[in-house]
């Protein structure tokens, strides 16, 4: 199957030039497994993308945190996928729950964004996940299936898609999903892909977990059969991100 472990760092709307230079220096000095074992992608705010790309070690890559849903033009404040491609930004995070909740991005809108970004040659980290209320009412799988369906209906080639399962109740709360909870959803997502896309896509698409991942819980989470890596928020701005990248070794052992 060969799903390479993937560790993304989502810096969200955080950082100053000085703060980010400091964390980049730490990351650049970090002793981590090779690119054969783990793919590492850091996602700074737009204004710092160029600086981070220039300063970051060559084996780590960068991602934007969002892009416009179609070709650029009269869309004040937006950045288009073709602009990201033009300045050699290889990845983009789309459909993060903060954007779905606060900016009211619908499943269909996120699906359209994923398809357009892929059409422009970008690789996409597509985020899905349920709220606490949805989990407690037993609709987790229904919610993440609907989010995934909106992507699947618009995408034909999944080679450049990483699916990030980020339960909303675990994001920034310190309340991490248990390894069993993460594995259960990841496994069901893979089954969903098998039933609704095809078995090859189900076997090869990386499904990563996000939500309060830290150095202390990453080993156990990463050891789960269907957990192919992480999308890390808060801890990706700290030296412990190096330890989280090293958790990739649980899969190569």
Ligand X SMILES: O=C(CO)COP(=O)(O)O
Q: Which is nearer to ligand X, 158 or 165 (CB)?
A: 165
Rounded-to-integer distance, Cα 96 and Cα 98, Å? 5
Q: Which is nearer to ligand X, 150 or 235 (CB)?
A: 235
For residue 189, the minimal CB distance to ligand X (Å) is 17
Q: Which is nearer to ligand X, 135 or 197 (CB)?
A: 135
**Distance between start and end Cα atoms, the chain:** 16
Rounded-to-integer distance, Cα 157 and Cα 146, Å? 19
Q: Which is nearer to ligand X, 7 or 213 (CB)?
A: 213
Q: What are phi and psi of 246, to 5 degrees?
A: -65, -20
- Interacting residue ranges for ligand X, rule: CB under 6 A: 10, 96, 166, 171-172, 210-213, 231-235
For residue 98, the minimal CB distance to ligand X (Å) is 7
For residue 74, the minimal CB distance to ligand X (Å) is 30
Rounded-to-integer distance, Cα 39 and Cα 246, Å? 11
Active site residue 96: yes
For residue 100, the minimal CB distance to ligand X (Å) is 11
Q: Please choose, from the candidates 18, 57, 95, the residue with its C-alpha nearest in 3D space to the C-alpha of residue 245.
A: 57
179 contacts: CB under 8 Å, gap ≥ 6: 220, 221, 223, 224, 227
What is the four-CA torsion angle of 165, 171, 175, 181, rounded to 10 degrees? -10
Rounded-to-integer distance, Cα 237 and Cα 33, Å? 19
Active-site residue, selected from the candidate residues 61, 166, 186, 240: 166
Active-site residue, selected from the candidate residues 96, 105, 186, 240: 96
Ranked by CB distance to ligand X, the top (closest) residue is 233
Provide the annotated active-site residues: 96, 166
């Amino acid at each position: 199957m060969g799903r390479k472990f993937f560790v993304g760092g989502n810096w969200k709307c955080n950082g100053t030039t000085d703060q980010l230079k400091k964390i980049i220096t730490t990351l650049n000095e970090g002793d981590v497994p090779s690119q054969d074992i783990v793919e590492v992608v850091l996602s700074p705010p737009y204004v710092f993308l160029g600086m981070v790309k220039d300063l970051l070690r060559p084996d780590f890559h960068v991602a934007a945190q969002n892009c416009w849903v179609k070709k650029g033009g009269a869309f004040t404040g937006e950045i288009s996928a073709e602009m990201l491609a033009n300045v050699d930004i290889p990845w983009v995070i789309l459909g993060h729950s903060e954007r779905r909740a606060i900016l009211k991005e619908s499943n269909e809108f996120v699906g359209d964004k994923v398809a357009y970004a892929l059409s422009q040659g970008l690789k996409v980290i597509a985020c899905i996940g349920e709220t606490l209320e949805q989990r407690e009412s037993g609709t987790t799988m229904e919610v993440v299936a609907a989010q995934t369906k909106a992507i699947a209906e618009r995408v034909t080639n999944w080679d450049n898609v990483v699916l990030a399962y980020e339960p909303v109740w675990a994001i920034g709360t310190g309340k991490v999903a248990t390894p069993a909870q993460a594995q259960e959803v990841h496994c069901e997502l893979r089954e969903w892909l098998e039933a609704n896309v095809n078995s090859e896509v189900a076997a090869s698409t990386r499904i990563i977990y996000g939500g309060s991942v830290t150095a202390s819980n990453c080993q156990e989470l990463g050891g789960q059969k269907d957990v192919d890596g992480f999308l890390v928020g808060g801890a990706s701005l700290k030296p412990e991100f190096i330890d989280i990248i090293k958790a990739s070794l649980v899969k190569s052992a």
